[in-house]
Amino acid sequence: MNVSLATFPFLSATLLSCIVGLVTILLIPGRRKDLIRWVSACFSGISLVLSIYLFAAYDRTQGGLQFVEKITWVKSLGIQYFNAADGFDLPLILLTGIVHFTGVLSMWELERRVKEFFALYFVLVTGVFGFFMSMDLFFLFVWYDVSLFPMYPLIVIWGSTRKEYGGMKLFLYLLFGSALILPAMIYLFVQSGGVGFDIPSLIQPGTFSPFQQKFAFLFLYLGFGILAGVWPFHTWSPSGHVAAPTSVSMVHAGVLMKLGAFGVLRVAIFLCPLGWEYWAPWMAVLATIGIIYGVLVGLVQKDLKFVVAYSSVSHMGIVGLGLATVTAEGLSGAVFQMFAHGIMTALLFSSVGYFHDRTDTKSIPELGGMSRIMPVASTYFIVGALAGMGVPGFANFWAELTVILSSLRVYPISGVTAILALVVSALFMLRVVQQTFYGATNERFAKLPDVTPGLGVPRIILIATLLLFGFFPSLMLDLIHASVFPFMEGLPK
């Protein structure tokens, strides 16, 4: 067995913090709800600290893969436990750490089947972390499925609003996506001569012919694109978001959809760059339709969670448009948008979940005048909405600006359309804010308490993150550029 580890295996330690947390939760009797909550917060806090360390410790001047951990597992098939991270992975690892921790805190008041909920939640997050740090195709696919498996029980048991329908629809769509990804990976493995599943080795020029890349890219893009919410395969997303409990909606829209977009980047684009260039115009068309569709359908929604959900479809279209530009700026903007949208949408779903838990409704006409009843909780949502509108000072502004500037050069019509869609999106979000927080007060909710300082902590963390990268975007862009520019320079000419 060949073993190659960094001085300290920080990536594996991040994974282990979730696995040990899961085992500890399973060992605690179900009646000890407070202990389960504190253990969940402790281990999710450890994974957050490790993800922050990884983000800060990455040597941006050196670039490339760092924190490398490699252990041969099945030598005859070339399968390795191979973890590493670069400027593409680390924003997503940090995003997962933040959403994981704040998701646990957002579910602090859960009373029903607390042990089972947090156990499944930790399984989901373990799969997400593993996916973002794996450099072996086999393990990457295993982690992908590990992250998808808990979604169905989490939605059906703890969800609301047609939860059986939402959970089953999500499960079937994502199963179909996996059915497209697996044969494409096997095809690439066979065409490479069976040298292994090592991604850095497979991306060497000449490994795959132009035809093989065009063929495999289509399957990989569609397979991962389903999870990324690419139009017209997005329909599982709004119903899944609305049916899921608060923290699962946060992980679902904040992180899980990024698995799909990151899969397109790390697997489809990295292994099949010629296929990427060939299919890019079609990717741009689908992304542009997704941006418009999310905005227009969101305009007529009366359910606050559906508004956020369709807004996510539109914002994920920005990610798709960035990936379709085949430029360094577009890729940088897409990765930044994955991070910024993940934090912003987690904040919005966390806030909506708070209102729903207190009022038992998500209907916008019923939630009138909430700013006078719950001013602090309303402020959290409004801040998230401002970030979603692309207001300067939030991370989303830089991410969307980078993608749009790039797309205006490559696809002017798509770029202009995206700008118009974002303007309309801002107007309809302002309408939602006006009707929900500043309309006539619903007397039924007049005596409801505002959010407590303890429950406000996860929302404050998310807002602080948006502001940090909004005022200091170079913290993120410099990291992404350290990997984007070398990758683009190495593409076949």
Q: What is the DSSP string of 280-344?
A: HHHHHHHHHHHHHHHHHHHHT--BHHHHHHHHHHHHHHHHHHHHHT-SHHHHHHHHHHHHHHHHH
Give percent of the chain with pLDDT exceeding 70: 98
What pLDDT, on a 0 to 100 scale, did the predictor assign at position 17? 94
What pLDDT, on a 0 to 100 scale, did the predictor assign at position 1? 46
- With CA atoms as reference, report the closest residue to 130 among 119, 144, 118, 120: 144
Give percent of the chain with pLDDT exceeding 90: 41
Helix (H, G, I), strand (E, B) or coil at 303: strand
Confidence of residue 6 (pLDDT cuts 50, 70, 90): low
Confidence of residue 492 (pLDDT cuts 50, 70, 90): low
Confidence of residue 247 (pLDDT cuts 50, 70, 90): low
State the angle between helix axes of 304-324 and 328-359 in degrees (0 to 180), rounded to the nearest 10. Answer: 170
CB atoms within 10 A of CB 33: 17
pLDDT tens profile 121-145: 999 999 999 999 999 999 998 998 8
User: How far is residue 424 CA from its own chain's centroid?
Assistant: 24
What pLDDT, on a 0 to 100 scale, did the predictor assign at position 152? 83
The encoded tokens of residue 438 equal 């500043």
Owner of token pair 């593993």: 130
Give Cβ neighbours of residue 47 (< 8 Å, ≥ 6 apart): 14, 17, 18, 21, 96, 97, 100, 101, 125, 129
Summary mean pLDDT of the chain? 87
| pLDDT above 70: residue 385 | yes
pLDDT tens profile 78-121: 889 999 999 999 999 999 999 999 989 888 888 888 999 999 99
Angle 192-196-201 from CA coordinates, rounded to 5°: 75
Where b means 16+ CB within 10 Å and e means fewer, 386-404 reads bbbbbeeebbbbbbbebbb
pTM of the entire predicted model: 0.93
What pLDDT, on a 0 to 100 scale, did the predictor assign at position 5? 54
| pLDDT above 90: residue 343 | yes
Question: Is the dihedral angle over the CA atoms 311, 454, 116, 113 positive or is it negative?
Answer: negative
What pLDDT, on a 0 to 100 scale, did the predictor assign at position 493? 63
Radius of gyration of the chain (CA): 21
Report, as an integer, the average pLDDT of 218-225.
92
What residues form DSSP beta bridges with 74? 79
Report, as an integer, the average pLDDT of 261-272.
91
| Stronger pLDDT, 269 or 63, i.e. the higher one | 269
| pLDDT above 70: residue 4 | no
- For residue 232, say if its preceding peptide bond is cis, omega within 30 degrees of 0: yes
- Structural contact between residues 177 and 235, judged by C-beta atoms closer than 8 angstroms: no
What pLDDT, on a 0 to 100 scale, did the predictor assign at position 301? 81
Distance CA 303, CA 334 (A): 28
Report, as an integer, the average pLDDT of 357-383.
83
The DSSP output letter for 190 is: H
Which runs of consecutive H residues, i.e. helices, occur in 159-265?
163-191, 199-202, 210-228, 236-243, 246-251, 257-263
Lowest mean pLDDT among 223-232, 240-249, 293-302, 359-368: 240-249
Distance CA 62, CA 76 (A): 33
Instruction: Kindly compute the dihedral angle of the four CA atoms of residues 176, 179, 184, 185, in this order, to the nearest 10 degrees.
Output: 120
| pLDDT above 70: residue 281 | yes
Give Cβ neighbours of residue 406 (< 8 Å, ≥ 6 apart): 322, 325, 327, 329, 330, 333
